[in-house]
């Protein structure tokens, strides 16, 4: 009889242990599902807050640029990053001029004859990259290969370029875009662009949804003096370019002609000046929004390209979402 009672007690204990294990597993799953749902809710809230930030940025642009004939760093849109409290979190962000850079997509050079004289855009990129590499040959390769990577044909425009045949021979193999780039990061795939070159030169570059090169001299910073120097094909030394930017009027130059008048370029003839002037501007159409949204433990980084038109209409050209500072690099300049 005692043996039967012992066996029954053992069975009961085993059942209790099994029930406890099942209950613990159920509680753990319930806890996980609860936090998963909570995180999904927070990320969804962060998404909508991100959309609200875009709306706020568009409003700031409209108010800042309404009735203004120039775009400059004294306007409200150019204020440093600001942080706003949210219910259970915060949001911070800032706008920057997306036209104060060398537009890689200008290398598409539609209508330019293959094998002709080196286009101005290629010359500028070669001068810009040349400031970050020791070998002038590498700068030539990168500039010409960049043109071949973006232009609409699959023909070598110059001897140092690279088309599909080159990229198909590497591992892993790929082909040229032969189209406008969507992001500067695509430039890393161009022949000759190694990690060091990309890290150092990319802050001076952009990939706008346009094949036009127009650099706003009113929004260049001293860190972008190499770009200003390159636009004058190095006839304007970087040190002099830094001085020009540092001495810029608070509200910027009223016109490109006013900017040109401040320069001392004895080696530049009138024809060269006229050529450079056509690539300079004191206004901008594209602006880049960088914002960080935090809701509880959910963090999201938003990068949006805004297009401002003269009539005050602001549209979102593209947006990218990711984790907090997902797109930031180790480069402190970025």
CA angle at 132 for the pair 128 and 137, rounded to the nearest 5°: 80
Question: Residue 34 class from Cβ within 10 Å (0-12 exposed, 13-18 middle, 19+ buried)?
Answer: exposed
pLDDT of residue 112: 67
Is the same domain home to 94 and 116? no
Residues 61-81 pLDDT 10s: 999 999 899 999 999 999 998
Is the same domain home to 92 and 111? no
Is the same domain home to 92 and 154? no
Sorted by sequence, the CB contacts under 8 Å of residue 198 that are 6+ apart come out as 187, 188
Total domain count, the chain: 2
**What is d(CA 42, CA 86) in angstroms, rounded to the nearest whole number?**
12
CATH classification at residue 24 = 3.30.1300.30
Is the same domain home to 130 and 42? no
Is the same domain home to 74 and 133? no
Stronger pLDDT, 88 or 208, i.e. the higher one: 208
Last residue of a domain, one of 170, 203, 236: 203
Q: For residue 327, tell me if it sits in a domain.
A: no
Q: For residue 255, tell me if it sits in a domain.
A: no
Is the same domain home to 60 and 126? no
Is the same domain home to 74 and 121? no
**What is d(CA 86, CA 91) in angstroms, rounded to the nearest whole number?**
7
Q: Which long-range contacts (CB under 8 A, 24 or more apart) does 261-265 make?
A: 263/236, 264/240, 265/232, 265/235, 265/236
Is the same domain home to 85 and 113? no
Last residue of a domain, one of 187, 203, 219: 203
Collapsing DSSP to helix, strand or coil, 299 comes out as strand
Residues 191-248 pLDDT 10s: 999 999 999 999 999 999 999 999 999 999 999 999 999 999 878 899 999 999 999 9
**What is d(CA 245, CA 185) in angstroms, rounded to the nearest whole number?**
27
Residues 126-166 pLDDT 10s: 999 999 998 899 999 999 999 999 988 777 767 777 888 88
CATH classification at residue 177 = 1.10.40.60
Is the same domain home to 30 and 65? yes
Q: For residue 91, tell me if it sits in a domain.
A: yes
**What is d(CA 191, CA 171) in angstroms, rounded to the nearest whole number?**
13
Q: For residue 293, tell me if it sits in a domain.
A: yes
Percent of the chain with pLDDT over 70: 92
Last residue of a domain, one of 203, 226, 249: 203
Q: For residue 273, tell me if it sits in a domain.
A: no
Q: For residue 181, tell me if it sits in a domain.
A: yes
Is the same domain home to 62 and 143? no
**What is d(CA 282, CA 217) in angstroms, rounded to the nearest whole number?**
6
pLDDT of residue 16: 84
Structural domain that includes position 21: 2-98+285-322
Is the same domain home to 88 and 112? no
Say what the pTM is: 0.84
Q: For residue 253, tell me if it sits in a domain.
A: no
Neighbours of 280 (CB within 10 A): 21
Is the same domain home to 92 and 113? no
Q: For residue 280, tell me if it sits in a domain.
A: no
């Amino acid at each position: 009889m005692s043996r039967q009672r012992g066996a029954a007690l053992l069975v009961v204990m085993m059942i209790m242990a099994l029930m406890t294990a099942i209950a613990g597993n159920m509680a753990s799953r319930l806890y996980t599902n609860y936090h998963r749902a909570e995180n999904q809710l927070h990320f969804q809230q962060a998404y909508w807050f991100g959309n609200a930030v875009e709306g706020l940025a568009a409003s700031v642009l409209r108010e800042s640029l309404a009735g203004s004939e120039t775009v400059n760093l004294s306007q409200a849109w150019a204020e440093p990053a600001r942080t706003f409290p949210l219910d259970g979190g915060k949001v911070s962000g800032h706008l920057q001029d997306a036209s104060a850079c060398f537009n890689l997509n200008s290398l598409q050079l539609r209508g330019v004859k293959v094998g002709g004289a080196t286009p101005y855009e290629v010359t500028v990129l070669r001068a810009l990259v040349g400031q970050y590499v020791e070998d002038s040959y590498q700068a030539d390769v990168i500039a010409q290969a960049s043109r071949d990577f973006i232009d609409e044909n699959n023909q070598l425009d110059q001897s140092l370029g690279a088309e599909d045949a080159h990229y198909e021979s590497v591992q892993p193999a790929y082909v040229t875009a032969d189209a406008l780039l969507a992001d500067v990061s695509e430039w890393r795939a161009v022949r000759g662009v190694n990690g060091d070159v990309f890290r150092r030169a990319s802050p001076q570059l952009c990939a706008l949804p346009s094949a036009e090169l127009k650099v706003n001299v009113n929004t260049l910073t001293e860190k972008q003096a190499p770009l200003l120097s390159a636009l004058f094909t190095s006839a304007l030394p970087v040190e002099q370019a830094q001085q020009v930017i540092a001495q810029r009027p608070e509200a910027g130059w009223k016109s490109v002609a006013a900017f040109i008048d401040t320069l001392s370029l004895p080696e530049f003839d009138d024809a060269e000046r006229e050529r450079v002037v056509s690539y300079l501007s004191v206004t901008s159409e594209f602006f880049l929004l960088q914002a960080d949204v935090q809701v509880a433990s959910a963090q999201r980084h938003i990068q949006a390209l805004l297009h401002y038109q003269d009539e005050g209409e602001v549209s979102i050209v593209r947006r990218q979402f990711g984790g907090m500072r997902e797109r930031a690099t180790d480069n402190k300049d970025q």
